[in-house]
Homo-oligomer: A and B are copies of this chain.
């Protein structure tokens, strides 16, 4: 089955990204296709490569990057939400006159249309948030 996931909260503060990760992993292991993982609201904060969590805790950002690399996942950060909250890729940084970017490997920034498309193309859409 084709499944998409929406994540509405950032890493660590809420469990949403953790649960979404375990759900996504279980779906992949169960032979399902993950059409897209869409990060909205504070969810875009999952896509920063500048995080350095404590050594004895999980690394939420890296875990997504690694899962994406392994399964060729499409991890999309909403551009409007990312602009508000300060998540930028090199293109966005340039366009907005910023001197740095912070997007993590395996993530890309795109529009809200990608969420709607995920809803249309997928058999199921599951939301994780606060």
What is A's interface to B at a CB cutoff of 8 Å? 10-13, 41-42, 45, 48-54, 57, 61, 80, 83-88, 92-93, 96, 98, 100-102
Contacts and interface: CB of A to CB of B under 8 A. Distances in A.
A53 B85 CA distance: 8
Nearest to A46: B86
A51 B100 contact: no
- The count of identical subunits is 2
Nearest to A48: B86
B86 A42 contact: no
Given A10-B10, A50-B88, A53-B83, 18 more contacts: A10-B42, A11-B85, A12-B84, A42-B42, A45-B86, A49-B86, A49-B98, A50-B98, A50-B100, A50-B101, A51-B84, A52-B83, A52-B84, A52-B88, A52-B92, A100-B100, A100-B102, A102-B102
